């Protein structure tokens, strides 16, 4: 992992502005690997706010009811204890939270009744609001494209009923997973119409940012043409850029003469792609570098 966050200053500014204007919500979309989690982590680290994070799990259409909220509550119990949580809910009655975490007792029934759900929703909202009254709170729900129905319902309830306390809800999701009938689509469309909600997309990294990332990961200036190749292959996706750079670094380490051909080819992935995205068919490459490549490839494969 690159220890430095590359680029993303506009996105960080947007998030900081949303926190300053809280209560509100940010719906942050973007393809897998574009850096949503990394962005949120960097934002949370520097934000003058308590950050609570829960992720949705890829468990099929039914999922695990309220899974990210269970994670959030577990983290909060770790931070302020059961008593601390009880102090934030009306009359200290944490019974409704049993649906989320066994530390709060046994749920009244196996499946939540409408009344029980309504109580749970109210308690979670009050809990978060009262916590935010003590200081700004960022609630991050990651990977909402995997959210089960209960989680989607609770999210909609929270965002629609935000009070006055500085509570910012940040929801991340993979835009490339939202097919035409995906249930999250409807939720997002409804929420983005609300005044205090901002929907935004994280984009691909610009070439200068890819160059900075590759340099950071290689620990040195990349050989000529490498950044362009990695940018073309990764389409500015930091995750793919990182993978290409790591492969390149491995090959560079195994190539005694550290020749550019080896780096280029290594950064281009599979053997077939190696030829096409390298732009130079193996047969047309200078004999010495082809020999070098074969030697280095052999030495890496043998490891």
Contact of residue 242 among Mg ion, ligand ADP, none (CB under 5-8 Å per partner type)? ligand ADP
Q: How far is the CB of 6 from ligand ADP (least distance, A)?
A: 4
Q: Decide if residue 200 touches Mg ion (CB under 5 A).
A: no
Torsion angle, CA of 72/78/81/86, rounded to 10 degrees? 10
Q: Is 63 left (phi over 0), alpha (psi -120 to 50) or beta?
A: left
Q: With respect to ligand ADP, which residue has the nearer C-beta, 7 or 166?
A: 7
Q: With respect to ligand ADP, which residue has the nearer C-beta, 79 or 235?
A: 235
Closest CA to 192 of 159, 218, 221, 237: 159
For 84-150, give the DSSP string: HHHTTSGGG--GGGGGT-GGG---SSSS--HHHHHHHHHHHHHHHHHHHHHS-EEEEEE-GGG--HH
Q: How far is the CB of 239 from ligand ADP (least distance, A)?
A: 4
Joined tokens for residue 62: 């039914």
Contact of residue 14 among ligand ADP, Mg ion, none (CB under 5-8 Å per partner type)? none
Helix (H) or strand (E) holding 48: none
Q: How far is the CB of 36 from Mg ion (least distance, A)?
A: 5
Q: How far is the CB of 9 from ligand ADP (least distance, A)?
A: 10
Strands in 167-174's sheet, in edge-to-edge order, are 50-55, 137-142, 167-174, 24-30, 197-201
Contact of residue 32 among Mg ion, ligand ADP, none (CB under 5-8 Å per partner type)? ligand ADP
Q: Decide if residue 290 touches Mg ion (CB under 5 A).
A: no
Contact of residue 8 among ligand ADP, Mg ion, none (CB under 5-8 Å per partner type)? ligand ADP
Are 181 and 201 in contact by the 8 Å Cβ rule? The answer is: no
From residue 21 to residue 60, the character string flagging contacts with Mg ion as x (rule: CB under 5 A) and all else as - is: ---------------xx-----------------------
Joined tokens for residue 292: 């070098």
Which single residue is written with the structure tokens 């960022």? Answer: 138
Q: How far is the CB of 216 from ligand ADP (least distance, A)?
A: 7
Q: With respect to ligand ADP, which residue has the nearer C-beta, 9 or 270?
A: 9
Q: With respect to ligand ADP, which residue has the nearer C-beta, 94 or 204?
A: 204
Residues that bind ligand ADP (CB under 6 A): 1-2, 5-8, 30, 32-38, 213, 238-239, 242
CB atoms within 10 A of CB 1: 6
Q: Which positions from 94 through 153 interact with Mg ion, judged by CB under 5 A?
A: none
Q: With respect to ligand ADP, which residue has the nearer C-beta, 67 or 96?
A: 67
Joined tokens for residue 239: 């995750």
Are 67 and 146 in contact by the 8 Å Cβ rule? The answer is: no
Q: With respect to ligand ADP, which residue has the nearer C-beta, 242 or 297?
A: 242
Q: Which positions from 230 through 259 interact with Mg ion, judged by CB under 5 A?
A: none
Q: Which positions lie near Mg ion, rule CB under 5 A?
A: 36-37
């Amino acid at each position: 992992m690159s220890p430095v966050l590359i680029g993303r200053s506009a996105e960080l500014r947007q998030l900081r502005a949303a926190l300053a204007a809280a209560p509100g919500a940010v719906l942050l979309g973007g393809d897998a690997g574009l850096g949503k989690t990394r962005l949120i982590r960097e934002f949370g680290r520097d934000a003058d706010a308590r950050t609570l994070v829960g992720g949705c799990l890829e468990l099929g259409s039914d999922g695990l009811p309220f899974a990210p909220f269970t994670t959030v509550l577990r983290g909060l119990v770790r931070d302020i204890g059961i008593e601390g949580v009880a102090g934030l809910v009306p009359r200290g009655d944490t019974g409704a939270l049993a649906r989320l975490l066994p530390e709060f007792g046994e749920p009244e029934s196996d499946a939540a009744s409408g009344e029980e759900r309504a109580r749970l929703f109210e308690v979670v909202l009050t809990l978060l609001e009262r916590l935010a009254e003590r200081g700004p709170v960022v609630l991050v729900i990651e990977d909402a494209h995997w959210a089960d129905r209960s989680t989607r319902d609770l999210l909609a309830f929270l965002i629609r009923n935000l009070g006055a306390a500085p509570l910012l809800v940040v929801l991340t999701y993979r835009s490339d997973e939202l097919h035409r009938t995906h249930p999250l689509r409807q939720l997002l469309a409804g929420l983005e119409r609300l005044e205090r909600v901002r929907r935004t997309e994280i984009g691909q990294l610009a070439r200068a940012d890819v160059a900075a990332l590759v340099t950071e990961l290689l620990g040195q200036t990349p050989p000529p043409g490498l950044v362009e190749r990695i940018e073309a292959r990764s389409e500015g996706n930091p995750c793919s850029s990182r993978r290409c750079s790591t492969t390149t670094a491995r090959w560079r380490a195994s190539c005694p003469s550290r020749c550019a051909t080896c780096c280029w080819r290594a950064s281009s992935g599979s053997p077939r792609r190696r030829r096409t995205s390298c732009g130079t068919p193996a047969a047309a490459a200078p004999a010495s570098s082809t020999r070098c490549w074969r030697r280095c490839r052999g030495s890496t494969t043998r490891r």
